[in-house]
Amino acid sequence: LGSTPPHNTTVLLSVPDDVLLWKFHMFRSTVLRAANKFGRTTHSPSTLNHFKPVQMPSRGLAAAAVEYPVLWGTSMKALVKEKPAEGLILSDVPKPAIGPNDVLIKVSKAAICGTDVHIYNWDQWAATHVPTPMTIGHEYVGTIADMGKEVKGMKIGQRVTGEGHITCGHCRNCKGGRTHLCPNTVGVGVNRPGAFAEYISIPATNVFKLPDPIVTDDCASFMDALGKRDGDDIVKRMNLRQSLHSHVYIGCS
């Protein structure tokens, strides 16, 4: 604080969670109070406002496309957002490759989410979050076609679905069991190739086995919705509260 910073000065901070962001603002307030108390400051609060922490990356924010491994020489059909404009195309793309902890799923049925509509229309949200080209879709059901050598507790041909938020597993929130607050979250069908294709590859930790035939493909293909606030609306529409049968509703809301 020895001299007045240039007007465009910005201090870059690595902010892993809200706690550190809060501590930064507390530190800044302490400096202001101490400087004003001893009368040794030449900086007004407006000047110090030039020192701002970098905004935490929002969930699924895509600054640039990331290339995911594929099996060159193979081909499958996929719905692709080919360029930053309205619409989608049905294209031939290589099948996704898998790592030692990944599962390759042959998609049998998929559902359309409101997110997919945003991407199709290419509105402001989509233009900000989705790199192109991108295979979209994140609500689906299928069977395991292949899996990495480190995957345990699953088998080829097993019917599964997948959770669409891939977290890093290394940040403070992930290690503390708060993966839903991971600042490095990557969205399936938004930031990495999605499920509107014949095959999709995701980490085994995001794969969920389905009991057969209790959960039908129609229900399993949009299970992602039951983990959101709109799940309550689904329960109302299905009149489950008026039913004589017992139901278990599992989800964030």
CA dihedral 239, 241, 244, 246 (to 10 degrees): 110
Q: Is 167 a catalytic residue?
A: no
Contact of 144 with 104, CB cutoff 8 Å:
yes
Q: Is 41 a catalytic residue?
A: no
**DSSP secondary structure letter of residue 177:** T
Cβ neighbours for 144, distance < 8 A, ≥ 6 positions apart: 103, 104, 105, 106, 154, 155, 156, 157, 158, 160, 207
Dist CA 59 CA 253 (whole Å) = 19
Catalytic residue among 9, 25, 30, 118: 118
Dist CA 220 CA 241 (whole Å) = 21
Dist CA 152 CA 138 (whole Å) = 23
For residue 160, give the nearest of 114, 186, 199, 191 by alpha carbon: 199
Catalytic residue among 7, 41, 115, 138: 115
Could you report how far apart the first and last alpha carbons of the chain are, in Å? 47
Contact of 107 with 78, CB cutoff 8 Å:
no
**Angle CA 150–101–180, to nearest 5:** 130
Q: Which residues carry out catalysis? A: 115, 118
